[in-house]
Amino acid sequence: MVRELAEKTTIDVLLQEKRVFHPSKDMVNSSNVKKWMDEHGIKTYDELLERAKDIEWFWGEVPKEVVEWYEPPKKVLEWNEPYAKWYLGAKYNIVHDAVDKHVKTWRKNKLAFIWEGEPGEVRKLTYFDLYKQVNRLANALKALGIGKGDVVGIYLPMVLELPISMLACAKIGAIHSVVFSGFSAGGLQQRLQDCEAKVLITCDGLYRRGQVVPLKEQADEAIEKAPNVKKVIVSERTKYPISWTEGRDLWWHEFVDKQSPKCETERLDANDILYILYTSGTTGKPKGVVHAHGGYAVGTALTVKWVFDIKDEDIWWCSADIGWVTGHSYIVYAPLILGATSVMYEGAPDHPQPDRWWEIGEKYGVTIFYTAPTAIRMHMRYGEKWVYKHDLSSLRLLGTVGEAINPEAWMWYHKHVGKERCPIMDTWWQTETGSFVISPLPITPLKPGSATRPLPGFSAGVFDEKGNVVKEGGGDLYLPNPWPAMLRGLYKAPERYKTTYWSRLPHMYLAGDKVRKDEDGYFWIQGRADDILKVAGHRIGNYEVESALVSHPKVAEAVVIGKPHPIKGESIVAFVVLKEGLKPSDELRKELREHVAKEMGKIARPSEVWFVKDVPKTRSGKIMRRLVRAKVLGEKLGDISTLKNPEAIDDITYAV
Ligand code: WTA
C-alpha cells in the first residue's frame, strides 16, 4: 500500500539518523517497573525480559502487585491450546479489586472519576459513591431476575452510568456486552441477538457537537427484532422525548435509585466470563470476543501500572470510548483496580473549539494522557496554537493506541503536547489481547513510530509467507505464548476461534497485522494483513460495509476498500453494482451512503461511492478486494491468474 511505502521511507530515515529518545534518569528511577526490578534484584530491562520468559514464574509473581484474591490460585496456567486457563482454583471477582477493596481504605473518598459533559457540567464520583451506585444497579438487575452467567446488553455513551453498569453486571456474575453508542439499530440488534441479552441498559440520548443524538430510538428499533431483550433500563441524559413501552422499560432514576446501596459481590471462579465484546472480522457477523475475570484483571492492571506508571497522585486520562476495548481495559477495569483517578469526557474533542481537550487537561491537571493517532492528526491540523493556550505542565507521560503512529504525528505530539519532556508509550494490542502486548515502558529508549518490543511476560515474532520465523525484516505478526488477559474464545463460535487465530501456523496466535522487526528487535506495525479497516481508530470489516450496501434494494453487489486518509488513517471507498436497469445518480450515491450510516452507524459511512458494471471475482465467485485496492492506489495488480472477469478491473475508475 502507498501508506506503508511512505511510512517505510520515513522510518528508514529515522533509523539511519538513529533518532532514539531516551527517558530521563528521574523518570526511570521513580518508575513502578524499576521499583519491582529493584525488589527482585533485576538490574537491566533486558534482564527483566529474559527472566520474564519463564511466564509461569513471572505471571505467578506479579498478581500481588495488583489484585487480591478471595482464595489464591493453585496453579498459574493450564494451556490446552488454543484455550488457556489462568490462576486456576482462585476465587475472585474483578469488582472486589475495582471497587470493594478501596472503600475499606483511605481511597474510600478518593475520586474514581472526574466526568465532564459536552455542555460543560461536571460530576465527580468517589470510590464510595461508585460502590453505592454499583450496588444499587446490581440489586436492580437481581430484581429483574439477572444472575450468574446471564448476559446484559449495554448501549450507553460516555456517561458515568456506563462504567457503573459494567461493574454492576460483573458484581453479580452476569456477563456484560457493551455496544458502542456510535452503532445504529442494525449493529445493536445483531449483537444483542447473538449474545442473547435478557436486559438492555441505555439512555434517552447523547450530546455530540452541541446536538442531541437520540439513542433510545435506536434501541427500540433494535429490540423489535431482538425479542430476547425483555427489560430495558433507561438513564436520563438529555431529556430528549422518547417512546415508552410499559412493562418493558424502566427509568434508572425511579427503579435503580430506590434499591439498597448494599450488595454482596459474587465469589466467582477466576476463569468465569466477565464480558463479551464484539469486534469486526473479515467475513460473516462480528466476533464475540470473550474475556474472563482473573487473568484479565492481572494483565490489564499490571500493564497500565508499568507502562503508564500510574501512581496515587496521578490524574489519568484515556480519551477512548468505553464502547471499545481500550475503554473497557484502560478506563474502567485497570485504573480502578489501581485506585486511580480518571478523567472521562463525554463529547467531541473539538467542541465548541479545537482546544476543548487541552482545556480539560489544564483544568484537572492531567498527568498521563492516552489517545489515538487519528486524534493527534486532527489536532495537528487545527494547529499547535490551540495547545499553547493552556498550561499542560502537569503532563508527565503520553500514549497512543489504535494504529501505527506516523513519525510526523509522533514528533508533533512529543514537541507541542509533551514539550519534549514526556515519553510516548505507543501501545500495540487488540480487542483479543485484552491488554497491551508490544509497548515501551517509561524506561525504554523510543523510536518514533515503533511500539518497541513485547512487554515482560509476552513474546511476539514475525513469520514470512512460507511460515518461517524472520529474525529481522517484514512479515506477519504472531504471538507464540498464552498471556493472562488473552481472549478465552469467541462466543458460541469455537470453530471460528480456531480457524481465525490458531490455524495458519501451529502453536501460534495469528494477530492479523503486518509488521517489520529491526536490528534492535523493535517492531514497526505496518497495518492489517486482512480485510479489516481502521477508520479513525474504529475497527470495521470491509465485509460488514459490503453487506450493509447489498441490503439496499437497488444494489446487486458491492466491494469496499480502505484508502489512505491524512487524518482518519483510512477512508472507506465503495464500488457498487446496481440491479438490472437502474441508473447511477448523485442522489442514489447519497442514498447509499446514508443507508450504510443507518444500517451500521455513521462510523461506517463510505466517503466515496462509485458505480461500476461488475466487480473483479475469482472463478469461484469470490470478490477480489486486493485487485480493487491495487487499482485504486495505482499499485501493481500482482497475481491475476484466478481472476474470472479482467474487464471488471478496467471498470474500477473514478469516472463513473
Ligand atoms: C491496530 C485496539 C499499530 C492493529 C486496542 C491491531 C495498532 C488493531 C496499535 C486492533 C499500535 C492497535 N500500532 N497498530 N500501537 N494498536 N493497532 O481490536 O492493526 O480495535 O490489530 O484494538 O489495531 O484493533 P482493536
CA-CA distance, 27 to 41, in Å (whole number)?
Answer: 19
Q: What is the mean pLDDT of residues 9-36?
A: 80
Ligand 1 atom, smallest distance to 538 CA: 20
Ligand 1 centroid–CA 330 distance in Å is: 14
Confidence of residue 6 (pLDDT cuts 50, 70, 90): very low
CA angle centred on 325, ends 215 and 546, rounded to 5°: 65
Ligand 1 centroid–CA 539 distance in Å is: 9
Ligand 1 centroid–CA 375 distance in Å is: 15
Assess whether the previous peptide bond of 646 is cis (omega < 30° from 0). no
Q: Are 156 and 235 contacting, i.e. CB atoms less than 8 angstroms apart?
A: yes
Range of the domain at 645: 532-650
> For residue 501, which of 531, 515, 475, 480 has the smallest C-alpha distance?
480
- The burial of 633, by beta-carbon neighbours within 10 Å (0-12 exposed, 13-18 middle, 19 or more buried), is given as middle
> For residue 639, which of 652, 630, 651 has the smallest C-alpha distance?
630
Residue 435, by phi and psi: left (phi above 0), alpha (psi -120 to 50) or beta?
beta
> For residue 406, which of 397, 398, 417, 414 has the smallest C-alpha distance?
414
266 assigned to some structural domain:
yes
Average pLDDT of the chain is 94
Ligand 1 centroid–CA 430 distance in Å is: 5
Confidence of residue 651 (pLDDT cuts 50, 70, 90): confident
Domain C-terminal end among 214, 246, 274: 274
DSSP 579: P
Rounded to the nearest 10°, the torsion over CA 154, 121, 367, 448 is: 60
520 assigned to some structural domain:
no
Interval 135-158: pLDDT, tens: 999 999 999 999 999 999 999 999
Residue ranges around ligand 1 (CB below 6 Å): 279, 324-326, 401-404, 426-431, 451, 511-513, 525, 528, 534, 539
Q: What is the mean pLDDT of residues 215-235?
A: 97
Domain C-terminal end among 274, 300, 334: 274
- At 383 the three-state DSSP class reads coil
Cα separations in angstroms, 253 against 168, 282, 345, 589: 16, 41, 22, 44
- At 105 the three-state DSSP class reads coil
Secondary structure, 3-state, 22-67? CCCHHHHHCCHHHHHHHHCCCCCHHHHHHHCCCHHHHHHHCHHHHC
Ligand 1 centroid–CA 68 distance in Å is: 30
Mutate to test the pocket of ligand 1, among 427, 510, 513, 532 (most ligand atoms within 8 A of CB): 513
Mutate to test the pocket of ligand 1, among 428, 444, 532 (most ligand atoms within 8 A of CB): 428
A 10 A CB-CB count for 374 gives: 22
Mutate to test the pocket of ligand 1, among 331, 403, 410, 433 (most ligand atoms within 8 A of CB): 403
Domain C-terminal end among 248, 274, 300: 274
Q: Are 527 and 534 contacting, i.e. CB atoms less than 8 angstroms apart?
A: yes
Confidence of residue 5 (pLDDT cuts 50, 70, 90): very low
290 assigned to some structural domain:
no
Residue with CA nearest ligand 1 atom 25: 430
Interval 114-136: pLDDT, tens: 999 999 999 999 999 999 999 99
551 assigned to some structural domain:
yes
Helix (H) or strand (E) holding 565: strand 555-565
Ligand 1 atom, smallest distance to 525 CA: 3
Ligand 1 centroid–CA 189 distance in Å is: 26
Residue with CA nearest ligand 1 atom 1: 403
Ligand 1 centroid–CA 452 distance in Å is: 14
Q: Give me the pLDDT at residue 9, please.
A: 45
Ligand 1 centroid–CA 504 distance in Å is: 20
CA-CA distance, 403 to 527, in Å (whole number)?
Answer: 7
Does the pLDDT of residue 13 top 90, yes or no? no
Does the pLDDT of residue 11 top 70, yes or no? no
Ligand 1 atom, smallest distance to 326 CA: 5
Residue with CA nearest ligand 1 atom 6: 430
Q: Give me the pLDDT at residue 18, please.
A: 60
Residue with CA nearest ligand 1 atom 4: 403
Confidence of residue 264 (pLDDT cuts 50, 70, 90): very high
The domain that holds 552 is classified in CATH as 3.30.300.30
Residue with CA nearest ligand 1 atom 22: 430
Interval 177-211: pLDDT, tens: 999 999 999 999 999 999 999 999 999 999 999 99
Q: What is the mean pLDDT of residues 515-537?
A: 93
- The burial of 430, by beta-carbon neighbours within 10 Å (0-12 exposed, 13-18 middle, 19 or more buried), is given as middle
482 assigned to some structural domain:
no
Q: What is the mean pLDDT of residues 603-608?
A: 95
Q: Give me the pLDDT at residue 613, please.
A: 92
pTM: 0.95
Ligand 1 atom, smallest distance to 528 CA: 19
In one-letter notation, the amino acid at residue 128 is F
The domain that holds 208 is classified in CATH as 3.40.50.980
Q: Are 110 and 102 contacting, i.e. CB atoms less than 8 angstroms apart?
A: yes
Mutate to test the pocket of ligand 1, among 4, 430, 452, 532 (most ligand atoms within 8 A of CB): 430
Residue with CA nearest ligand 1 atom 8: 430
Residue with CA nearest ligand 1 atom 14: 403
DSSP 115-161: EE-TTS-EEEEEHHHHHHHHHHHHHHHHHTT--TT-EEEEE--SSTH
- At 551 the three-state DSSP class reads coil
362 assigned to some structural domain:
no
Quick one: cell of 457?
511476560
Does the pLDDT of residue 220 top 90, yes or no? yes
Does the pLDDT of residue 71 top 70, yes or no? yes
Q: What percent of the chain has pLDDT over 90?
A: 89
Ligand 1 atom, smallest distance to 451 CA: 15
Interval 567-594: pLDDT, tens: 999 999 999 999 999 999 999 999 999 9
CA-CA distance, 348 to 357, in Å (whole number)?
Answer: 9
Interval 401-442: pLDDT, tens: 999 999 899 999 999 999 999 999 999 999 999 999 999 999
615 assigned to some structural domain:
yes
Domain count, the chain: 2
Ligand 1 atom, smallest distance to 430 CA: 22
Residue with CA nearest ligand 1 atom 13: 404
Helix 185-194 with 586-600: angle, nearest 10 deg? 40
361 assigned to some structural domain:
no
Ligand 1 centroid–CA 345 distance in Å is: 22
Ligand 1 centroid–CA 435 distance in Å is: 11
In one-letter notation, the amino acid at residue 233 is I
CB-based contacts of 383: which residues, under 8 Å, 6+ apart? Answer: 354
